[in-house]
Chain A
Amino acid sequence: MANLNINIGKLQLKNPVMTASGTFGYGTEYSDFIDISRIGGIIVKGTTLRSRQGNAYPRMAETPSGMLNAVGLQNKGVDYFINHIYPTVKVIDTNVIVNLSGSTLEDYIEAAEMLNDLDKLPGIELNISCPNVKEGGMAFGISCLSAAEVVREVRRVYKNDLMVKLSPNVTDISEIARAVEAEGADSVSLINTLLGMAIDSEKRKPILSTITGGLSGPAVKPIALRMVWEVAKAVKIPVVGMGGIMNAADAIEFMLAGASGVQIGTANFIDPTVTIKVIDGIDEYLNRHGYSSVIDIIGALEV
């Protein structure tokens, strides 16, 4: 057994494997299949200050080795999370982290203040990269100025771990990463989904109600890996990598490229036990290669 413990920002994780927001519900959706407390961290679904109905159906289109989604942050709001979800998830022996999104700066601040009062919530993942909402979301994450501003303001009111989730829909992701690092982010996570589109040629219509949506799954992995590698070189804070991870080898690739931890999203839909397989697979890899700790493979890519 290698040592899988890892600290990412202010978070202490029993292993580097987390679940990606919007793909793992509140965790309990998976408890028939796995012991969810074995996972290093559970990032719950995108939460906003007030409840949101999300976008109209159809919200999903399958694409080669991936899928497009246009859920649009359907959730019941921060209040509901605090009163109805938090009491049940805070007893799970893992890091339960809220993915926080907003359409205005004030929304982000108000929600972050409310979450700051939860003593068993180790951190938030600030989502400035959702491509599926009309206003806000990704708009914050695609310019250095607005990304810096939202992180600065949230940092003022939120004292626990602040992970900032970056959008790949930018020209230079390292630039944004540096901007949020300078404002006090404890870590950055990437990538959120890539803006994409699917068309039904027979009907001459877009498949998604929103026309465009966010691409995830193995189709995006090479892009995600490249971005993690670039960002890991550009910042000193830890990087959490994701995008198309289907197995332990994929997760290890992200860590070799410089990620201190990984998140698994879409793969959970196909195999709800995948997180446990990845944790065990990383352990097996470390043993096979003679590493005593998972820390040894972070950024260990030989170029």
Chain B
Amino acid sequence: MKKFMLDLIVTKNETLNDQYSLLILKSPEKLPEMFPGQFAEVRVDNSPTTFLRRPISINYIDYETNELWLLIQIVGEGTLKMCQVKVGETLNLLFPLGNSFSLPNQKNAKLLLIGGGVGIAPLLFLGAYLKDKDFECNFLLGGRSKDNLLQLREFEQFGNVFTTTEDGSHGERGFVTQHSLLKDSNFDYIYTCGPTPMMKAVASYAAKTNTFCEVSLENTMACGFGACLCCVTDTTEGHVCVCTEGPVFNITKLKWQI
């Protein structure tokens, strides 16, 4: 897939709460085709401490308006500066990078998309993509409290939404892997992105129930396109780059102790 470096214009910068912002970026040229799970490397200007680009998932893409959504959680200087861009300013992106989630191979497959924190970002795009291909999605989204549950209205357009919060302020209390949905139903495909401990718990559930499961990793990266070999994860085929062979991996390929 051809990669591009483009300046995109910020058309919307919406503060979702004190930790999260949604950026909507418009491309002056026709946006290239992208697939759910892929990401962009965003250059952060005006931040002396942010030297490298920051990898951010494609949250949603609208080919009609030529707009790309990025959902950003502020965790440090780079993400903070990104969330301070103003409408009309530009962000420089390298994209689309990485592989993508695989499509189920039977139409009536039962799908579960599990996201935690900012890990829900690629799952919205995945949900939209699957719905467009006539699949029915179930989303299970988790957060510490209801403030960490984002884009619920958007998710509802693409399937059934279930939630958990650690403090019980929304949906069932507890972690995503404790949700009653997992006890009551069987799924054919599980896709997950979120904090590593959450993804490991999901992977362990999938392994026990013999369910197809793909996880999206967030290793630290220097380039994002396979040139530096800094982002590797250990797999059954040795060290492979998360930015080119991933970020999406089938759990059977990873050497996780689950």
B223 at interface by CB-CB < 8 Å: yes
Q: How many A residues have CB within 8 A of the partner chain? A: 34
Known interface pairs A217-B51, A270-B52, A270-B53; A57-B227 also in contact (CB < 8 Å):
no
Q: Which residues of B contact A88 (CB under 8 A)?
A: none
Give A190 Cβ to nearest chain B Cβ, in Å. Answer: 20
Give B78 Cβ to nearest chain A Cβ, in Å. Answer: 9
A59 at interface by CB-CB < 8 Å: yes
Seen from chain B, the residues whose Cβ lies within 8 Å of a Cβ on chain A are 2-5, 43, 48-53, 94, 219-234, 238-239
Interface flags, A174-217, vs B, CB<8A=1, else 0? 00000000000000000000000000000000000000000001
Do B238 and A269 touch across chains, with their CB atoms under 8 A apart?
Answer: no
At the interface, is chain B mostly helix, strand, loop or mixed? Answer: loop
At the interface, is chain A mostly helix, strand, loop or mixed? Answer: loop
Do B51 and A64 touch across chains, with their CB atoms under 8 A apart?
Answer: yes
A65 at interface by CB-CB < 8 Å: yes
Which of A66-74, A229-237, A287-295 lies at the binding interface? A66-74
Known interface pairs A53-B239, A57-B232, A60-B230; A33-B5 also in contact (CB < 8 Å):
yes
Q: Name the residue on A nearest B4 (C-beta).
A: A32
Most buried by A among B50, B224, B226: B226
A160 to B90, CA, bound (A): 48
A30 to B2, CA, bound (A): 10
Which listed residue (A56, A66, A71) contacts B228, Cβ 8 A?
A71
Known interface pairs A270-B53, A272-B5; A67-B226 also in contact (CB < 8 Å):
no
Q: Name the residue on A nearest B238 (C-beta).
A: A53
Do B94 and A272 touch across chains, with their CB atoms under 8 A apart?
Answer: yes
A66 to B43, CA, bound (A): 15
Most buried by A among B49, B219, B225: B225
Q: Which 3 A-B pairs have the closest CB atoms?
A: A60-B230, A269-B223, A32-B3
Which listed residue (A30, A32, A59) contacts B229, Cβ 8 A?
A59
Which listed residue (A56, A62, A268) contacts B223, Cβ 8 A?
A268
Q: Which residues of B contact A269 (CB under 8 A)?
A: 52-53, 222-224, 227-228
Do A71 and B230 touch across chains, with their CB atoms under 8 A apart?
Answer: yes
A199 to B234, CA, bound (A): 23
